A = this chain, B = another copy of it.
Amino acid sequence: MKSLIFPELRAVLTAIAPVTDFEIAGYQQHLDRLTKPIGSLGRLEATAARFLAIRGGQVDLPLRKAVYVFAADHGIVEEGVSAYPQEVTRQMVLNFLSGGAAINVLCRAQQAQLTVVDVGVCADFDASPGLEQQKVRKGSRNMLHEPAMLEEELQQALQVGFHAAESAAAQGVTLLAAGEMGIGNTTAASAMTAALTGHDVSAVTGTGTGLTQDALAYKRAIISACLSRHTSDGDHGSDPDPLWILQSLGGLEIAAMAGMILRAASLRIPVVLDGFIVSAAAAIAVSLEEKTGDYLFAGHCSEEPGHRYLLAFLRLEPLLSLGMRLGEGTGAVLAMPLIESALRLSAEMATFDSAGVAEASL
């Protein structure tokens, strides 16, 4: 099988530099001189040290925060896998644009810039501030019968994500998050998680926006059928091609998020992940180039059961674990003040020397 990697993607992958343990250790040494017992800020310390290493120590506070919410529909909803009708994708995009959704409230509170990107909603939108129209196709294809995307659709969607990261970089964004809206996308993310991690469909598939137990069993059967169609059993866990998983089982917004994450890493912009769907995109990105993981922070652990498998796959520990399962980027934005606080502590706390505080005597 020919490689699905195309020239623009190859250029991004080769531009991703590692964040070295040596660089991180230098910032940890600074944290150890601050007026607190060694390590007493817990995971905030590793968060600050890695963030500073990513940015070469140059971090203006407050951070310049941005969230891109990618919206697309999914052909698989024809099979009846979601608790909500497909038109809710369009309705929620309008809700984002009028400021009434959860992600709007949280972005206002955190002063994070919000951009909605239509990569594939089954509807037309009027021009609106805060909306970028980058539609690749009205909805992905029904992956029960064909790959969710054609190869050129996958490439276009990835490049929508590249452009988002480039636009963020041009605006001086120093902390980026991806969010998503797409009725049916937990079905895609569950299929991708099973294919990427080798875990059982039953383990990685949950009720999404709120299925009954019968509907959940049906959703699992559909996902298993999709997996059988597009991946041979022998591929599970044995180095499956991540781009093929994305093309056959993903979705337009998931591809765009994977593209944004990769391009952000190549531009040394830290990305805080939201929940299950965003993490499926991140898992593709890290599978394509492992060093991408150096730029990622896990905002939260979703209640959707597949998420913990993806976090383990990504070797990331979430900052929050509040039983949320909303998406839109909400878990990522809620974690932003923790990341910012970690950086403020590093920047503003007194050292033992400067404050005249005695160090441990035992």
Contact = CB atoms under 8 A, between A and B. Distances in A.
B349 A85 contact: no
Given A337-B337, A362-B212, A324 B42 contact: yes
A354 B84 contact: no
A36 interface: yes
Nearest to A338: B334
Nearest to A333: B341
A338 B337 CA distance: 9
A82 B361 CA distance: 9
Chain A: number of interface residues, binned into ranges: 35 or more
A92 interface: yes
A101 B35 contact: yes
Nearest to A211: B362
B319 A319 contact: no
B344 A105 contact: yes
A100 B322 contact: no
Nearest first, the 7 closest Cβ-Cβ pairs linking A and B are A100-B350, A42-B323, A42-B324, A37-B209, A40-B326, A42-B322, A91-B357
Interface of A: 34-44, 82-85, 87-88, 91-92, 94-95, 98, 100-102, 104-106, 108-109, 209-212, 215, 303, 319-326, 330, 334, 337-338, 340-341, 344-345, 348-350, 354-362
